[in-house]
Structure 1
Amino acid sequence: MEQLAKITKETNKKLVLLIRNLEKSIGVFGDYPPVLQDLNFVRDSYRKTVPHPLLFILPDYAISRLAKFAPDFWAWKSGLFRFKTTELTRDRAIANTLNTDTNIDRLPTPEQQERIDLLHSLLMEYNPTGEIPSPENHRNCCNILNELGKAYLSQHKPIQAREYLEKACEITKKFPDYSLEIEVINQLGKSYQQQRQFESANSYHQQALDIAKEQKNRPAVANSLFYLGNVSLNMREFHQAQDYYQQTLEIEIEFGDRYSSASTYYQLGKVAEELGELEEAKANYLQDLVITTEFNDEHGLGISLHNLACFYQTTQDEDLLREVTKILGTTVEELKETIINSEE
């Protein structure tokens, strides 16, 4: 209101209030957004307080929310405009989302949200709200939905993640890409695991494992076994978890997937520690550390060192410190400083 009073009006021009980024306030999921409740409630007062056209610029998924939760606004004069994205912009968005090697779990929160926004924009390109994606867009659409599911899982929002993953799962039935289907089903399992619905999680991971075995896709078998191991560990079925992880490790060694084996050694260490097999746990934790150091994986190294610090507090094993310093090529004093940094 203060800004309106200061604007100089020109007789041959009309003032229009542009409202952008409302989609960030009304969200994608859930019940009646408070901002729309308020907008609906005071709608008619705008005729006096802001006697100018209001132009809301929204992506299609937000327009659907507006139509559902602010029907009075929707009843105003409105139009739907489809803007064609330039090929260069679309290619950049794909490069920063679908074709990136950076795991979204390792991104700072603002960059995570930026990737999610890009994925939503891409989804509108390949699957506009209310339309059925064309056959030539099935693969891209499925990849985007899967990445959105993974992104929401990284933010521990399993219900939102599942909305996209279930759509992705439907689309995988329409074109033959069993690797993608297996990944989507495993992500669905992870969504239930985050909610501690372990039986449902197990069911999805077992389904993915069955498809992987049927397709003789050994790396996919390893992934599914790993996820089954995680669920068994959560359920404190330690011997079952150990068996799943051991099968996973055998396949990773068979295919020379040394990088992935670091996570498996780490999980085997956790299981052994729970079973009181401390020497076995130590050996697995150290093997994990060797591999994360070998691949210069700073994120993994931070997790490994923090875990080793906790393990040392429990065991007071001085040999452990000497082994770690040998792997890192550092002194005990430098190691302690590194562990403090890893916790930060």
Structure 2
Amino acid sequence: MNSSRKPLHPHSQRNLSSEIGPFIALNQEIFAELLTFVDFAEKFTIGFVEINFPPDAEILVEALKTNPECRDIQFIALNFPDANLRFLRDEIVKILPTIEAERSRGFNKKLVLIVQGLEKSIGVYGDYPPVLQDLNFVRDAYKRTVPHPILFILPDYALTRLAKFAPDFWAWQSGMFRFQTPQVTKDYAINEAQNTERIIDRLEPPEKQERIDLLHRLLMEYKPTGHQVTGENLHNYSNILHQLGLAYLSKRKPMNAKEYLEEAEKIVNEFQDPTFHAEVLNTLGDSYRQQRQFDTASAYYQKSLSISQQLQNPRGEIAALLKLGNVYLGLRQFTQATTFYQQCLEIEQQIGDRYSSARTYHNMGIVAQKLRKFKKARRNYQQALAIFIEFVDRYSQALTYHCLGALAEAEENYAEARVHLQTALEIYVEYKDEYRGAIAREALERLQVHLDGNKPPI
């Protein structure tokens, strides 16, 4: 992972002590209740702490460790971020013997465990997470093997799933503490959710999952479990739903994307923002196109196009027309695809949108190549490539170099094909796109057979 990238969570470099005061001031009453809980808790006792963002959890842990009322308590923070974790108790039992007891006033301090990161293995969708199945099953064993109070710090959605899928363990709780999110944390997360500069398709898989995690946490800020979203929060809430849809589509999970996009589409009419409505419809169409339900996808794109035309919004028209062209390209109805791409290109040229026209030229090149109109395909690819180079869009350059390589291979110009595919591969490696990189490597291996003068294997 690129270490220079901007972190998706705030407070990456900070002085925790300076943030304790504002956080506790916001949550003074609930923090006092938590202090009472840890003071009286003995042996195996469960407390659940609801905090939606990890940076705030770190502030809370530091506040507990440094609070004068806790001078006789030893807090041990345990982090379990493994999404495949199943046997939590076994992991805790392994750690307990390694903890060196601290002493206060001649006695060992009371040990209180703080469990964090469990939301990764709990997940946000699906049935019966293995970690919760096991948590419920071995509940009684905790009394004997983990004889200490435990605080579980989890976001709203993870606590809801824990209560649902581990009801026996949940029933043993002795305290539930819900902390409010400071505005600085909320503002940062909102800014990230609305950050259009971040191109989700080009993020590495861990960063994509990190963004999804951030969006789910932010979603809980606007719609906590058991509450409804109303008034001015509707717009931000629907935007987060839309961003979640985009994020899941980038991971090729259209069913998950559709769930959030359909909810966004239901509420988008409650406020006057038809431009955003058109965007949601386009993305909802993408979720059906990924499932190869082209007729349904086309219907959503057409509805989006109609809204943009009514608004006289050329950029909205461009987005819908390009997607309609892609639908018919997927259906191999090349004449209809060309019609939509040509309409798209005309609008781009009218408003002087050279960058967007590169995508259109690229897709028109694909259509021409499918029709074996190789000269026309090459001309379109080269026009697209020139614009991508002009705008320093290296990743898009790779896609066009890849197509130029496939075109040269179809024309049996294997040396030229290798040059283009090698260039594409180098950029894929640069952007850590393993999927397309593997396709490029396979094509290069196939070309090498021709270049060596051998027939390709049958």
Same fold per superposition (TM over 0.5):
yes
Q: Distance in 2 between matches of 1:335 and 1:31?
A: 46
Question: By percentage of residues, which structure has more strand?
Answer: 2
Which of 111, 127, 136 aligns to 2:232? It is 136
Aligned to 2:275: 179
Residue 26 (1) aligns with residue 118 (2)? no
Aligned to 2:150: 54
Give the drift of 1:104.
0.8
Which of 22, 38, 60 aligns to 2:134? It is 38
One-letter code of the match for 1:90?
K
Give the drift of 1:70.
0.9
- Secondary structure at the aligned position of 1:81 is classed as strand
Residue 342 (1) aligns with residue 434 (2)? no
Q: Distance in 1 between matches of 2:102 and 2:163?
A: 32
Stretch deviating more after TM superposition (263-272 or 276-285): 276-285
Residue 108 (1) aligns with residue 215 (2)? no
- Secondary structure at the aligned position of 2:151 is classed as strand
Residue 256 (1) aligns with residue 352 (2)? yes
Aligned to 1:329: none
One-letter code of the match for 1:44?
D
Q: Distance in 2 between matches of 1:85 and 1:142?
A: 20
Once the two structures are superposed, the pairs formed by residues 277-292 of structure 1 within 5 Å of their partners are: 277-292=373-388
- Structure 2: gaps of 5 or more residues: 1-92, 430-458
Q: Distance in 2 between matches of 1:100 and 1:86?
A: 24
Aligned to 1:207: 303
Give the drift of 1:5.
3.4
The answer to whether the Cα contact below 8 Å between 1:159 and 1:191 also exists between their aligned partners in 2 is yes
- Structure 1: gaps of 5 or more residues: 322-331
Q: Distance in 2 between matches of 1:162 and 1:121?
A: 19
The answer to whether the Cα contact below 8 Å between 1:306 and 1:342 also exists between their aligned partners in 2 is no
Which of 240, 243, 248 aligns to 2:339? It is 243
Note the alpha carbon deviations across 1:296-327, whole angstroms, 9 max, x for none.
10111111112111111111469x96xxxxxx
Aligned to 2:167: 71
Give the drift of 1:337.
5.5
Aligned to 1:3: 95
- Aligned residues between the structures: 333
Once the two structures are superposed, the pairs formed by residues 187-206 of structure 1 within 5 Å of their partners are: 187-206=283-302
Q: Distance in 2 between matches of 1:250 and 1:147?
A: 29
Q: Distance in 2 between matches of 1:124 and 1:97?
A: 13
Note the alpha carbon deviations across 1:127-158, whole angstroms, 9 max, x for none.
22331123111111111111111011001111
Q: Distance in 2 between matches of 1:78 and 1:193?
A: 48
Which of 83, 92, 107 aligns to 2:188? It is 92
One-letter code of the match for 2:341?
Y
Question: Are the structure 2 counterparts of residues 79 and 204 from structure 1 closer, same or farther at C-alpha, using a change threshold of 3 Å?
Answer: farther
Stretch deviating more after TM superposition (75-84 or 272-281): 75-84
How many percent identity over aligned positions? Answer: 52
Question: Are the structure 2 counterparts of residues 147 and 111 from structure 1 closer, same or farther at C-alpha, using a change threshold of 3 Å?
Answer: same
Q: Distance in 2 between matches of 1:299 and 1:313?
A: 21
Give the drift of 1:14.
2.9
Residue 219 (1) aligns with residue 315 (2)? yes
Question: Are the structure 2 counterparts of residues 2 and 222 from structure 1 closer, same or farther at C-alpha, using a change threshold of 3 Å?
Answer: closer
Note the alpha carbon deviations across 1:182-235, whole angstroms, 9 max, x for none.
111111111111111112212211221222223332221221111111111111
Note the alpha carbon deviations across 1:92-150, whole angstroms, 9 max, x for none.
32333312412111112222222222222222222223311231111111111111110
One-letter code of the match for 1:104?
I
Aligned to 1:154: 250
The answer to whether the Cα contact below 8 Å between 2:245 and 2:260 also exists between their aligned partners in 1 is yes
Note the alpha carbon deviations across 1:68-100, whole angstroms, 9 max, x for none.
111112212254433333333233323333124
Once the two structures are superposed, the pairs formed by residues 294-305 of structure 1 within 5 Å of their partners are: 294-305=390-401
